Structure 1
Amino acid sequence: MSIETLFSSNIIVPIIVAFIGFLVAVTTAVIAKEQKVSEFRQKWVDDIRSDLAIALQNSYDCLYELQNPSTEESVKKYNISYRELEFRCNLIILKLNPKKDEVFIELIRKLLKDLFVVSQDTTKLNIQSCQQTAAQFQKMSHGLLKKEWERVKKGEKHFLIFRNFGELCLFAFVTAFLIMLAVSKFPEYFLTT
């Protein structure tokens, strides 16, 4: 059966048109879903960035108040900053993955504990340890935000797999079509039985 006969029949053309329509519909749906997921992830990144910045500022405010002479005003400011820090840290912990971000969650808990210990015993050694924990918190926050931004840029893993599979299918379809076209136009170059 020649390619002209195949394309002139009423069977193959509707099948090819339906297949192309199916590919377009599925691709459009997947792209729309990926864009929506990307919007949600970007919102999540913005929210956690805000929470991390506020938590970091509150931890430094607590440290500042603890290094000043202990007056009633500094104790009051420390308590306000510490409560806000606890709230923000709890929000951050709830937004993180308990398994993947276990190290970061433990660091957050250590920061809260260290600040509480320093409020009870303001020795220089305790304050330095707490400052190191706060600096480590800042560094890990930066790493988390960078990792999540890369994820937003690249897209979700499932989307990447689907896109790569789609590109492979498209390449195979175009190759098959070109081979069929070459066979029909230049039959003398191909073995036919």
Structure 2
Amino acid sequence: MMEPESSVQMTVWFSSAAAIIAAFILGVVSLTVTTIAKEQKVSEFRLAWIDAFRVDIAEYISLCFDYVSISNNMTCDDKEPKEKVLFESGSANLNPNILAFNSSEARIKLRLNWDEHTEIMATISQISKWRSKYKNGTATKLDLEDLVEVLLSDSNKIISYEWKRVKKGEFLNRVIISAGRIIVTVSLSAALTAGILYKVIT
């Protein structure tokens, strides 16, 4: 049997230890929850970015091929009744196509990191030049198709990389959760052991 003074000291010590362990567990749980919430939010933003990027690229390509049809219609003879309709259609759709194309290109560029995504930026620049060349008759639809294939390849590389970053974030979440569980389990075990020892000693 322990002396009263020693018993009091042990009680104070175990109470302090219990308080420290409880605070530590609370801190671990709080940190885990905060980190998971942050990682999930980042993953959501990244997924939204991927979806929006896909839509922008698809629209951009569609506008390029629309430009081919519009430009071809513009070459029709408006004095010929059969061709006049095509010519008027081309004339009516040319400016809207140019505005939509410029807007689409700007959105894509703003989504990209110009220092990191140099390949796709170069491809977009080539496509812009192609439009001018096609208007002047120095480029063909086949040239556009080749550029589009390059653009799709560049886009897929970016999307694949972003998907890997999303999965990496999910992996980090699992690691944090597992580590948190281990720490809490060890802390609770230590607290339980300390309680048993206290009862045995006192």
**How high is the TM-score relative to the length of structure 2?**
0.69
Q: Does residue 130 of structure 1 match 2:153?
A: no
Alpha carbons 1:107, 1:137 under 8 Å: kept: yes
Equivalent residue of 2:15, what SS? coil
61, 64, 89: which is aligned to 1:56? 61
Equivalent residue of 1:98, what SS? coil
The CA distance in 2 between the partners of 1:135 and 1:58, in whole Å, is: 15
CA positional deviation for 1:113: 1.0
Unaligned runs of 5+ in 2: 1-9, 77-86, 197-202
CA positional deviation for 1:181: 8.6
2:126 alignment partner in structure 1: 110
153, 176, 183: which is aligned to 1:139? 153
Deviation above 6 Å: which 4+ runs of structure 1? Answer: 5-8, 175-182
Alpha carbons 2:56, 2:107 under 8 Å: kept: yes
Alpha carbons 1:56, 1:138 under 8 Å: kept: no
Counterparts in 2 of 1:6 and 1:112: CA distance versus 1, 3 Å: farther
Alpha carbons 2:56, 2:104 under 8 Å: kept: yes
**How high is the TM-score relative to the length of structure 1?**
0.71
CA positional deviation for 1:19: 0.4
Residues 85-96 of structure 1: pairs in structure 2 closer than 5 A: 85-96=101-112
The CA distance in 1 between the partners of 2:187 and 2:19, in whole Å, is: 17
* Count of aligned pairs between the two proteins: 175
The CA distance in 2 between the partners of 1:152 and 1:122, in whole Å, is: 43
CA positional deviation for 1:88: 0.4
Counterparts in 2 of 1:30 and 1:165: CA distance versus 1, 3 Å: closer
Paired letter, 1:92: I
CA positional deviation for 1:15: 0.9
90, 97, 106: which is aligned to 2:113? 97
Alpha carbons 2:28, 2:184 under 8 Å: kept: no
- Quick one: percent identity of the two aligned structures? 27
Q: Spell out, residue by residue over 1:83-117, the C-alpha distance to the aligned partner (whole angstroms, 9 max, x if none).
A: 31221011100111111111111111111111221
Indicate the RMSD between aligned Cα atoms, in angstroms: 3.4
Unaligned runs of 5+ in 1: 186-193
Which has the larger Rg? 2
